[in-house]
């Protein structure tokens, strides 16, 4: 695919907003499309595992989701992933950490800047594109439930305890060492220059929405003319999106974007019953379409990938859909 295919003399500016394994899958596919430049905006609220320990012990920004995006955009993805995702086992302090998180943390501390550390690691791995933290202010994600109780921290929100939990009513950010949280300025520039903006896939309240509630980002999304596409999850998430249909995902997301979603990309291939039964044990269900929103176009495609008995988006299928969208968009 050439630049001329898109009827312009510069790459199409594609901005992705999300975090976690969903953004990893999307970027893994986008990397192979020619004629585009990708800017990945990544949530900075991860608080679990190695990432959470580094954040708590060293006071750094969480490196985990940023690392996933760098690996996804690297032409050395498979080799780099095998090395940088390897976890230490012998040293007491290092045990449980992975090599990539440690390297990114050390690069950030040596340069004195988290974004500089991100840029340095991206340079090591020959990343074509940019990976941007949505904010460089440290903050904690808080979820308010319908019974008025609150859950503090992305990891606690992401992994409910017990067999039942009230529905999430709202989420907000609490700054650590300042009165306010601000969006990282290069993120605003990337959105201003964007030709197309892709939200998701990913856990709604712990991967996508944490970006949108950083002050300044929602306002910027409302001000730009770029089309916004939302890649809807294939399965629901217990404690976050119980019993959600695609229409519920779209409506909830629009309450945080402050503008309509132009189109939603929805998987329409149902996993086999054996896999659905496994996921049902985790209180996770297949996302049906639900009642269509007349203001949001639905793009229904087979996006399913189920190797290893894990239900996820197939990066190649997802990239194929994005490629057709770019070819069909008369403004590009």
pLDDT in tens, 13-26: 999 999 989 999 99
The confidence score (pLDDT) of residue 86 equals 86
Most confident residue range from 48-62, 153-167, 317-331:
317-331
CA–CA distance from 172 to each of 29, 141, 168, 261 (Å)? 31, 6, 11, 21
Report d(CA 298, CA 264) in Å as an integer: 5
Report d(CA 167, CA 307) in Å as an integer: 31
pLDDT above 60 for 30: yes
28 pLDDT band, cuts 50/70/90, is: very high
Among 55-59, 109-113, 176-180, name the one with the lowest average pLDDT: 55-59
The confidence score (pLDDT) of residue 179 equals 76
pLDDT above 80 for 287: yes
What is the mean predicted confidence (pLDDT) over 248-264? 94
CATH number for the domain running over 10-44+134-328: 3.40.50.10680
- 77-118, pLDDT tens digit by residue? 999 999 998 887 777 777 777 889 899 999 999 999 999 999
The answer to whether the CB of 183 falls within 8 A of the CB of 216 is yes
Give the residue with greater pLDDT, 2 vs 167: 167
3-state helix/strand/coil string of the chain: CCHHHHCCCCCEEEEEEECHHHHHHHHHHHCCCCCEEEEEEECCCCCCHHHHHHHHHHCCCCCHHHHHHHHHHCCCHHHHHHHHCCECCCCCCCCCCEHHHHHHHHHHHHHCCHHHHHHHHHHHCCCCCEEEECCCCCEEEEEEECCCCEEECHHHHHCCCCCCCCCEEEEEEEECCCCCCCCCHHHHHHHHHCCEEEECCCCHHHHHHHHHCCCCHHHHHHHCCCEEEEECCCECCCCCCCCCCHHHHHHHHHHHHCCCCCEEEEECCCCCHHHHHHHHCCCCCECCCCCCCCCCEEEEECCEECHHHCCEECHHHHHHHHHHHHHHCCCC
The reported pTM is 0.92
pLDDT above 90 for 248: yes
1 pLDDT band, cuts 50/70/90, is: very low
Paired strand residues for 131: 40
50 pLDDT band, cuts 50/70/90, is: low
Task: Give percent of the chain above pLDDT 70.
Answer: 92
End-to-end Cα distance, the chain: 14
The confidence score (pLDDT) of residue 58 equals 66
Nearest alpha-carbon partner for 229 in 269, 209, 207, 201: 201
pLDDT above 80 for 7: no
pLDDT above 80 for 178: no
- 186-237, pLDDT tens digit by residue? 999 999 999 999 999 999 999 999 999 999 999 999 999 999 999 999 999 9
Report d(CA 141, CA 100) in Å as an integer: 24
């Amino acid at each position: 695919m050439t630049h001329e295919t898109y009827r312009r003399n510069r790459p199409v500016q594609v901005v992705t907003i999300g975090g976690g394994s969903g953004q990893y899958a999307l970027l893994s596919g986008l990397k192979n499309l020619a004629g585009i430049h990708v800017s990945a905006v990544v949530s900075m609220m991860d608080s679990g595992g190695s990432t959470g320990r580094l954040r708590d012990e060293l006071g750094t920004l969480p490196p985990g989701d940023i690392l996933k995006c760098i690996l996804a955009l690297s032409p050395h993805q498979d080799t780099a992933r095998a090395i940088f995702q390897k976890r230490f086992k012998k040293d007491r302090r290092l045990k449980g950490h992975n090599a990539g998180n440690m390297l990114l943390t050390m690069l950030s501390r040596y340069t004195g800047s988290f974004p500089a550390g991100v840029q340095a690691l991206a340079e090591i791995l020959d990343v074509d594109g940019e990976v941007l933290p949505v904010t460089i202010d440290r903050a904690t994600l808080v979820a308010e439930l319908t019974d008025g109780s609150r859950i503090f921290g992305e990891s606690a929100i992401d992994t409910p305890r017990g067999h039942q939990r009230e529905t999430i009513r709202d989420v907000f950010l609490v700054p650590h060492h300042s009165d306010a949280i601000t969006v990282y300025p290069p993120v605003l520039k990337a959105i201003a220059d964007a030709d197309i903006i892709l939200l998701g896939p990913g856990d709604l309240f712990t991967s996508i929405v944490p970006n949108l509630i950083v002050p300044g980002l929602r306002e910027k999304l409302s001000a730009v003319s770029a089309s916004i596409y939302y890649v809807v999850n294939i399965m629901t998430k217990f404690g976050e999106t119980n019993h959600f249909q695609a229409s519920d995902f779209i409506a909830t997301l629009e309450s945080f974007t402050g503008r309509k979603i132009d189109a939603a990309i929805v998987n329409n291939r149902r996993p086999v019953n054996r896999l659905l039964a496994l996921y049902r044990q985790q209180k996770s269900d297949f996302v049906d379409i639900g009642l269509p929103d007349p203001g949001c176009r639905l793009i229904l495609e087979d996006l399913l990938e189920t190797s290893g008995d894990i239900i996820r988006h197939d990066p190649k299928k997802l990239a194929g859909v994005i490629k057709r969208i770019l070819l069909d968009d008369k403004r590009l």
